[in-house]
Amino acid sequence: MNYWQDILLIAVGVLVGFINTIAGGGSSVLYPILIFMGMPIHLAIGTSRVGFVAQGIFSVAGFKSKGIFLFPFNIYAAISAAFGGVLGAWISLQVSNRNMTKILALVMLMIAVLLLIQSKLKNKKNIIRTKDKWLFISILVYFIIGIYGGFIQAGMGFMIILAGTLINHFNLTQANSVKALIVLIITIPTLYMFYAKGFVNWQAGFAIAIGTAMGSWLTSRWSVKVNEKVIRGIISTIIVLLSIKLWFYD
């Protein structure tokens, strides 16, 4: 990979960091870009997870520094999701490149819809449901989400937030803190699984990680107010267009 490709990947990472900070769903833009740059889909998924680990570390540290750390529930949820993630990654590695590309195109359409749905979620009253039957239900649900996350990861954050708000009655900040830990804990073993199969380009992964960190940091400090509804609409439209192109891409 040459110097100019590294610069391009950092720029792509900045874009992904912006999207994740403003609305979420950055990986649904990152994957097709990497594929259009010539990466097979499994290599794109494995390489992207280098950036997800870096992003996860900073996100978890940030929430913990603010005292938002729903211990021990978040540990139970993350461990359950991690077991699901390992299973999902194993399944993903059994699927052909062509079929995975088609699956990703369909998943991206789902993410475009979730982007719009998530904007309608409201902060719930802080009557948290994390014990007794709700703990059992949560462990099962996060295990299932983990399977999906290990399989393709794109859009997993939306699912975690939906589960956290609808099942556990977390507010959006609490749901995001749980999401951060789950994404980190899932990504570490699944990254290793893709690496063991030769599906990680470390140079590209580190370039993406640098860009993602820069994009997230800059966007979080952006002083200009933006219309989140408009931004989500634009991102959803881009994702739909990319998914259509990806469906017919060989």
Domain interval for residue 178:
3-247
User: What is the distance between the alpha carbons of residues 182 and 196, in angstroms, rounded to a whole number?
Assistant: 22
pTM for this entry: 0.86
Instruction: Burial-class residue 236 by CB neighbours within 10 Å (0-12, 13-18, 19+).
Output: buried
Residue 152 CA to its chain's centroid (Å): 9
Distance between first and last Cα of the chain:
22
Q: What is the pLDDT of residue 235?
A: 79
Q: What is the pLDDT of residue 222?
A: 60
CA distances from 87 to 41, 76, 120, 155, 224 (A): 18, 17, 32, 18, 43
- Count Cβ atoms below 10 Å from residue 64 Cβ, excluding itself: 14
Q: What is the pLDDT of residue 223?
A: 45
Q: What is the largest CA-CA distance in the chain?
A: 54
Answer left, alpha or beta for residue 38, where phi above 0 means left and psi between -120 and 50 means alpha.
Answer: left
Residues of the chain with pLDDT under 50: 223-224
Q: What is the pLDDT of residue 119?
A: 63
As for how many domains the chain has, the answer is: 1
